[in-house]
């Protein structure tokens, strides 16, 4: 290390000069060390945030990578199991109404509809047995609750059931049948149906929407709904949180129209 002394200053003055200079350098070094410490602390925070973002990204990717389970055939439609254990399926639109009646209504089954337009056809699958009275009431209630009456705020409508062979795609003279509509010929068995539904999770993890008695029978976790002011999307989020399921699975089983969550 080379030190240059000033010849115009005394030895003491030269010593004092370099002493003061050394003190200033020491302060700068201490300041630099403090800055480095602060930078290390900020860098640690940045690394921690980076790791958190990466972890969240990995979780999202893992969730996307999980394949959606394959739906049961009846989940393509409106469906529920009655409190008697009878599978009941209904149309979601004109196309599925056609499919439900044409492909999934067999001799011995009962087909349910309402007198008002905009109602799905529901089929109670007999499977070689008589359809119990309680199932008839519940299937009528489902046909009513998933009709346009819910959206219109009507609390009860007239429903009916017939045998599958009473339905025809051949219109009466001068009439026209749109897709999803059928001519009903012969006696109709009428049932006064209240609009009320529940949504629950079955033992095998399926989200089921249907009449309250049916849902109570098959679902330990359930939520009752009625006519209300909440949008289906808002109600579905609330119900999904209560039931511990996906929002989309709840939306699939809700009626068309605003909703009130009762619990």
pLDDT in tens, the chain (263 residues): 566 656 676 767 656 665 667 667 767 777 767 777 777 777 777 777 777 787 777 777 766 655 666 889 999 999 999 999 999 999 999 999 999 999 999 999 999 999 877 899 999 999 999 999 999 999 999 999 999 999 999 999 999 999 999 999 988 888 888 888 899 999 999 999 999 999 999 999 999 999 999 999 999 999 999 999 999 999 999 999 999 999 999 999 999 999 999 96
Contact yes or no for 249/207 (Cβ under 8 A): yes
Q: Which of 194, 211, 227 is the last residue of a domain?
A: 194
Res 178: pLDDT: 85
- Verify that 113 and 124 share a domain, yes or no: yes
Res 17: pLDDT: 66
In the three-class reduction of DSSP (H, G, I as helix; E, B as strand; rest coil), residue 260 is classed as: strand
Distance CA 252, CA 202 (A): 15
| Residue-number span of the structural domain to which 181 is assigned | 72-194
- Verify that 153 and 256 share a domain, yes or no: no
- Verify that 77 and 179 share a domain, yes or no: yes
**How much is the pTM?**
0.73
- Verify that 176 and 203 share a domain, yes or no: no
Res 67: pLDDT: 65
Distance CA 149, CA 141 (A): 12
Question: Number of structural domains, the chain?
Answer: 2
């Amino acid at each position: 290390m080379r030190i240059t002394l000033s010849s115009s200053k005394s030895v003491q003055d030269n010593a004092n000069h370099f002493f003061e200079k050394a003190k200033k350098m020491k302060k700068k070094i201490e300041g630099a060390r403090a800055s480095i410490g602060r930078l290390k602390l900020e860098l640690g925070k940045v690394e921690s945030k980076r790791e958190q973002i990466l972890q969240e990204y990995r979780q999202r990717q893992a969730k996307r990578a999980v394949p959606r389970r394959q739906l049961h055939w009846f989940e393509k439609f409106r469906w529920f199991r009655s409190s008697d254990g009878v599978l009941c399926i209904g149309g979601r639109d004109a196309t599925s109404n056609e499919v439900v009646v044409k492909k999934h209504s067999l001799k011995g089954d009962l087909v349910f509809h309402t007198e008002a337009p905009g109602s799905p056809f529901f089929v109670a699958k007999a499977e070689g047995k008589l359809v119990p009275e309680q199932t008839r009431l519940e299937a009528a209630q489902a046909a009513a609750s998933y009709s346009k009456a819910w959206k219109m705020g009507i609390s009860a409508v007239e429903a009916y059931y017939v045998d599958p062979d009473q339905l025809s795609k051949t219109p009466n003279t001068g009439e026209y049948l749109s897709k999803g509509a059928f001519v009903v010929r012969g006696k109709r068995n009428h049932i006064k149906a209240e609009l009320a539904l529940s949504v629950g999770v079955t033992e095998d993890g399926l989200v089921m929407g249907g009449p309250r008695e049916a849902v109570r029978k098959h679902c330990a976790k359930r939520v009752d709904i009625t006519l209300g002011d909440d949008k289906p999307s808002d109600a579905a989020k609330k119900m999904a949180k209560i039931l511990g399921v996906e929002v989309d699975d709840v939306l699939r089983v809700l009626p068309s129209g605003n909703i009130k969550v009762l619990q």
